[in-house]
Amino acid sequence: MKDFPINDMVAGVVVSQYVRCGKSNCRCASRRREDLHGPYHYHMVRFDGRLVKRYIRKKDVAEMQRRCRLHKVFNERLRAENKETEQIMKEARLQLRTVGHLIGDRTDRMETARQWLGDIPPEFKP
Ligand SMILES: [Zn+2]
């Protein structure tokens, strides 16, 4: 992760769409898929809960796909690492609880000993 090319990453995806130009006398007005223009390529990304769509020139498509893929891979790895950290924390908490029980047991045993032996002189108190 240290050497990950984060400066190359771009959030979002590249989508390809067939479109209508809007001219009523154009063949695309038929709405039939084969009459539409394209495919045109767009970069789509969610930004502040809003979907932002931006046209990409054909020559830039491959590079944009590469950069979006990097972002996806980075996030997948980050999620995996977070999961791993969570697991370690879970185990650490479990161990702490075990230590807590051991300390509790020790306190209980000392209390029992105290009851058996009477008051412990201050110089021997834990
Ligand atoms: Zn058209």
Q: Are 41 and 56 in contact (CB under 8 A)?
A: yes
How far does residue 119's CA lie from ligand 1's centre (Å)?
A: 98
In the reported structure, the alpha carbon of residue 31 is separated from the centroid of ligand 1 by a whole-number distance in angstroms of 10
Q: pTM of the predicted model, to two decimals?
A: 0.66
> How big is the chain, counted in residues?
126
List the chain pLDDT tens, one digit each, 126 residues. Answer: 778 888 899 999 999 999 999 999 999 999 788 999 999 999 999 989 999 999 999 999 999 999 999 999 999 999 999 999 999 999 999 998 888 888 888 888 888 877 777 766 667 666
* Confidence (pLDDT) at 100: 85
Q: Show the tokens assigned to 87.
A: 């697991």
Distance 57 CA to ligand 1 centre (A): 19
Cα(28) to centroid(ligand 1), Å: 4
